[in-house]
Amino acid sequence: MKYSPLLTSLCLIILLSACSTNPVSVSMSTSRFDNPEVSSEPLSVNLALGSGSRTILNIETDDKNFSGNDIYAFARGNITATKGLEISISSDVDSATHIGIKYQFYGAHTEQSTKGNISQAFTLGYERNETNEWYYSGGDYIACESLYCNYVAESGYWQHDTDVYDIAWVVCYKLTDRDIIYGGPFYQWGQLSGYKSTANNSTEPLESDG
C-alpha cells in the first residue's frame, strides 16, 4: 500500500471476505477555510454554509490510492473561547464531522485588522467519517435448461470508519479592509477500519405458465 500524495497518509485495516469489481473508497477533506485571524472578543460566534473539495482514495485497486476529487456542501460554526483561541465544528453531506482548534499567535485580531496586516495561526483538527455502501454489479444467466436458468450476480456491502487528524500553520495578508489571502502547509494522518462482504446470489428458477 502506498501513501497518497500531499503528505496524506492512512493506516488501513480492512477485513475483506472476497475481491470485487466495486472497490472500497474513502474521502478525505483537502479544503481549509481557516484564515488565521481570530476574534479578540470571547464567545464571538460565526456560522457559515459553503462547499469544498474532498480527495477520494480508492484503497483496493489504485496503486497510488488517488481517485479524484468531489465537491461537498458543508455547514460550519465556530466560537471564540478566549482572545485569539477559536473552536470550530463542521459537518458535510459526506457524513464527515470535523472539530478544530485554532490559535492566532501573530498579527492583529479580526476587529483590529486593517489593510496590510499579516497574521499567523496554528490549527489542530480531528475528523470522523462513517461510510457504508450496498452495491450490485450485475450478473448473467447461466446453465439454462429448457425453462430453468440459474442467474448469478455479485452483490455485497462495505462499511468503514475513518479517524483523521491534521495540523496546520496558516499565514494571511490583508489586501483590503475586507479581502485577505491566506494559506500554508498542513499534514494529515489517520486510520481506517472496517469490513467488506460479498456474496453470489442465485434467483428462483424461471418458470412459464404457457
Read off the pLDDT of residues 106-153 as tens digits, 9 standing for 90 and up. Answer: 999 999 999 999 999 999 999 888 776 665 555 554 555 555 555 555
- Distance of CA 53 to CAs 70, 72, 73, 74, Å? 5, 6, 9, 10
Quick check: 97 pLDDT over 90?
Answer: no
Quick check: 169 pLDDT over 70?
Answer: yes
128 burial type by CB count under 10 A (0-12 exposed, 13-18 middle, 19+ buried): middle
Percent of the chain whose predicted confidence (pLDDT) is above 90:
30
- Residue 94 is placed in which grid cell? 459526506
Reported pTM? 0.66
What's the rounded Cα separation, in Å, for the pair 119 and 184? Answer: 12
Quick check: 155 pLDDT over 70?
Answer: no
Q: Which of 92, 114, 90 is nearest to 102 (CA)?
A: 90
Look at 163 and 73; give whichever has higher pLDDT.
Answer: 163
What's the rounded Cα separation, in Å, for the pair 144 and 141? Answer: 7
Residues 54-72: pLDDT tens digits?
Answer: 777 666 555 455 556 667 7
pLDDT at residue number 172? 94
- Taking residues 194-202, report their average pLDDT: 60
Ordered DSSP codes for 28-93: EE------S---SSTT-EEEEEEEEEEEEEETTT-TT-EEEEEEEEEEEEEEEEETTEEEEEEEET
pLDDT at residue number 38? 93
The number of angstroms, rounded, from the C-alpha of 106 to the middle of its chain's C-alpha atoms is 30
Residue with cell 494571511: 172
